[in-house]
Structure 1
Amino acid sequence: MPRILTSQTSEDELTEHNAKMFGSPKERLEFYRREIHYETAILANRTDAYLAAQSFLVIAFASCMGNLNPEWGKLFTLFVPPFLALLGLLSTLNAWPGIRAAYDIIDHWYYKQSELLRSEPVMGMAYDESPLFCERESTHKGYRKALLFSVRTPWIFATFWIVLGLWAIAIQLTDPFG
């Protein structure tokens, strides 16, 4: 099996490189925390924009379903609400990659932070010998629970729009009271 030979980087060179880049573990931790904060703000903004768009679509859908015009109301409610449901589904599919990417980047920076705190135990200790960051904050389980709303919301809305779109068509094509 062929192997690619690369130069070995010594531990001293790696330490020197890290010292030039960050200066100290504290600066590295501050950098990781800033990146986590920045990406969390991006995720929150994407989630807010997504929810605002979805809420307008839900209002438009409900308004269209309430159309009682005797001349063209039945035809209108047959086509427009399913179209809005499709638009909501496409909007969800379009928003998902950006939300997931922000989540993955946050996951990466939390991993880097936890590895730093694991490799530099002094970093986690405050003046009174209690941890600066508790285990819940520096493990995957802790922060992932906080981000679940942003990650799950698109899938909940995708299901919502599929069910609502099918229901809108079914209710117009069948006469449940006749």
Structure 2
Amino acid sequence: MPRILTSQISDTALNEHNARMFGSPKERLDFYRREIQYETSILANRTDAFLASQSFLVIAFASSMGNLNPEWGKLFTLVVPPFLTLLGVLSSLNAWPGIRAAYDIIGHWHFKQSELLHSEPVMGLAYDESPLFCERESTQKGYRKALLFSVRTPWIFATFWILLGIWSVCIQITNPGA
């Protein structure tokens, strides 16, 4: 809590205020873990929605490439797949900020949890003795590895769509007689 230089708040009053505001270390740990769980579920929901939208786009892309109509099929397969590719790239780029924001918020709460466990020796000992908790959970390396799939997915799909779009145009241009 920032202090104003002119105020005369004693350390005792400040500690009492913090105790009322934050509660016990156990309550803070529970709060941090609930926030981590909440943000992780948000990240999972965003990743699920993104993957579902990408799967529908892939199906639409494959269907449009398979158009065999003799009158307008060639023009259709030259125009529609690149538009679907553009939509796939844009949706990937649009999904990235939300996924990254959830990842950063999870990182914040993991940091707060780690700092709490390191600043409260008694809490840290109880934490380390419990089989449900371990030091690996509260390190940055542990949770970051768990979230890599969600963080990388938009970039993997953006790359996939760019390559697929280039391939779909090249196939139509290099084989004009088909």
Task: Confirm whether residue 84 of structure 1 aligns to residue 78 of structure 2.
Answer: no
CA distance in 2, matches of 1:157, 1:24: 45
Once the 2 structures are TM-superposed, how far is the Cα of residue 6 of structure 1 from its aligned partner? Answer: 4.5
What does residue 18 of structure 2 align with?
18
d(CA) in 2 for partners of 1:131, 1:125: 9
Counterparts of 1:177 and 1:123 in 2: how far apart (Å)? 74
Q: Distance in 1 between matches of 2:144 and 2:41?
A: 15
| Partner SS state of residue 158, structure 1 | helix
Separation in 1, partners of 2:51, 2:14 = 45
Alignment match, 1:30: 30
Query: Which consecutive unaligned segments of at least 5 residues does structure 1 have?
Result: none
The one-letter code matched in structure 2 to 1:74 is: K
* 1:70-89 alpha-carbon deviations (Å, 9 max, x no partner): 11111000000010010000
1:94-137 superposed Cα distances (whole Å, 9 cap, x missing partner): 1110000000000000000000000012113349x725631211
User: Where do residues 7-156 of structure 1 align in structure 2 (5 Å cutoff)?
Assistant: 7=5, 11-126=11-126, 130-131=129-130, 133-156=133-156
Shift of residue 153, structure 1, vs aligned partner: 0.3
More deviation, 58-67/11-20: 11-20
Relative to the length of structure 1, the TM-score reads 0.90
Q: Aligned-pair distance for 1:177?
A: 9.0
Identity %: 77
Distance across 1 between alignment mates of 2:11 and 2:99:
37
- Equivalent residues, number: 173
Alpha-carbon separation, structure 2, partners of 1:37 and 1:11: 34
The residue matched to 2:129 in structure 1 has which SS?
A: coil
CA contact (8 A) 1:124 1:131 kept: no
Aligned to 1:70, what secondary structure does the other structure show? coil
User: TM-score scaled by structure 2?
Assistant: 0.90
| Aligned-partner Cα distance in 1 for 2:27–2:96 | 33
The amino acid across from 2:134 in the alignment is C
Equivalent position of 2:160 in the other structure: 160
Judged with a 3 Å threshold, the aligned counterparts in structure 2 of structure 1 residues 108 and 24 are, in CA distance, closer, same or farther, namely: same
